[in-house]
Structure 1
Amino acid sequence: MTAQRTYGGISAQERRAQRRAALLEAALEIIGTEGLGKLTVSGLCARAGLNERYYYENFDSRDAVLAALIDRIAEELADAILAAVRAAPDGPVRTDGPVRTDGPVRTPDTRATAHAAITAGVHLLTDDPRKAKVALIAGMATPELRARTTETVRVFARMVAAEGIDFYRISDAAPDPAIDFRAMYLVGGLVQTLTAWLQGDLDLTRDQLIEHTVDVFVLLGEDLANKLR
């Protein structure tokens, strides 16, 4: 007899994963509708319909719950953005002499790609306002969570830098520090701008917010790509 029993075709590991997912979904609902102050062990377990021992099976603090929830939202965000980039329409064949020398290729349309990626990210966070509240506001609640959020911004900046190198066919033999600088500037700036917009400090519609963001991403991306060619 094994220690990891299977009931109804579901293994112990799968059941634990389901309980963890239920707790995270409950945390998202509580924070998103009632506020971070309402997130307690008893309230979380009641919302998830689970015994408190299952909470301690997965988490040792409220910050641990929030960190896991932030990570889950960040993963959803990355998946949505990358899928949008991959599905963006093609642009014309490049003949302007990029740094790489493996021949001209048909590349995605710059603005269409930026628009698709930014729209996907903004919509994921604002179609379900609970996610934005967790990722952008609750993520700054404690020093530990602020550090976690800062690292998440770095991860997305590295993703933007990598996508930019690939998109513009920039040689990655000796990466220019300006690439990382601009990627961090864009992602960090977008986080602050989106937070301000969610708090009502920017008098813009969501579509206007997206269009202005696309303008900045395209401007800085094209400018740097031209300098590096």
Structure 2
Amino acid sequence: MTRSGRTVRGLDAEQRRARRRADLLEAALTLFGRKGFAAVPIEEICQTAYVGTKSFYELFDSKEACYLALFEQLTADLSDRMQVALGEVDSIDGLIEKLAQVLVADLRRPQVLFGQSAGVSPVVERRRRENRRWAAGFVEGVWRHYGVIAPERDVRAIALGTVGALFELIVDWLFDGTGEAEELVARLTAYHRVVRAGLESTVDGVSSDR
């Protein structure tokens, strides 16, 4: 007979562990989003989450590991939302507007994903680069979905450069401090329209107006 272990407030040990982890990540989201990674000690994360330091180290090896777990969680959530949005909108401009709405809904999220992620550590930087490559693949897929490029055309480098520029525009918007979705949409849309015009004016990488 297997013993399930005692429960506390209706939660078993594994559920309590999951709750502590969720509380720590929520506290980290708030603190990293407001202060940045370097300015937040582990003790403050624990105090904000009402979780002991011992419990923190049972879940995360370091503050970097906590940040990386939060980054992974936010990345997965954003990618899921954009995949859903791709099936809901009928234009790239509409997709950009959906992205802006997601980012504006909780400014802590873009702060952690874009505003604070650079320079945290080599490990986080590698994960950030992987995230950009995934986003570039998504952008390339969007271009094919809407007929911007031919199915066989290789534009991986252009997609990666576009993603880098769009991410930097998001960072600039964050540091401007407006928090307005309309402003973010305008910046991202204006840039993407220039890129799209360039893509549509070339055939197999050679200008069509030569």
TM-score, scaled relative to structure 1: 0.73
| Structure 1 contact 85–116 (Cα < 8 Å) conserved | no
1:84 to 2:85 alignment: yes
Residues 56 and 221 of structure 1: CA distance in aligned 2, closer, same or farther (over 3 Å): farther
1:158 corresponds to which of 128, 137, 141: 137
| Structure 2 contact 92–146 (Cα < 8 Å) conserved | no
| Structure 1 contact 28–130 (Cα < 8 Å) conserved | yes
Amino acid at match of 1:136: F
Extract unaligned runs of 5+ from structure 1.
90-112
| Structure 2 contact 6–13 (Cα < 8 Å) conserved | yes
| Structure 1 contact 36–138 (Cα < 8 Å) conserved | yes
Cα distance between partner residues in 1 of 2:142 and 2:15: 34
> Equivalences for 1:208-219 in 2 at 5 Å?
208-216=186-194, 218-219=196-197
Cα distance between partner residues in 2 of 1:212 and 1:167: 18
> Equivalences for 1:85-100 in 2 at 5 Å?
85-89=86-90
Residues 38 and 207 of structure 1: CA distance in aligned 2, closer, same or farther (over 3 Å): same
> Equivalences for 1:34-73 in 2 at 5 Å?
34-73=35-74
Alpha-carbon RMSD across the aligned residues, in angstroms, is 2.9
| Structure 2 contact 68–124 (Cα < 8 Å) conserved | yes
TM-score, scaled relative to structure 2: 0.79
Residue identity over aligned pairs, in percent, reads 25
Partner of 1:117: 95
Which shows bigger deviation, 25-34 or 138-147?
138-147
| Structure 1 contact 118–214 (Cα < 8 Å) conserved | no
| Structure 1 contact 5–12 (Cα < 8 Å) conserved | yes
Which shows bigger deviation, 34-43 or 67-76?
34-43
| Structure 2 contact 96–185 (Cα < 8 Å) conserved | no
Number of paired residues? Answer: 199
Please state how far the C-alpha of 1:201 moved relative to its aligned partner.
10
Cα distance between partner residues in 1 of 2:19 and 2:115: 26
Please state how far the C-alpha of 1:154 moved relative to its aligned partner.
0.8
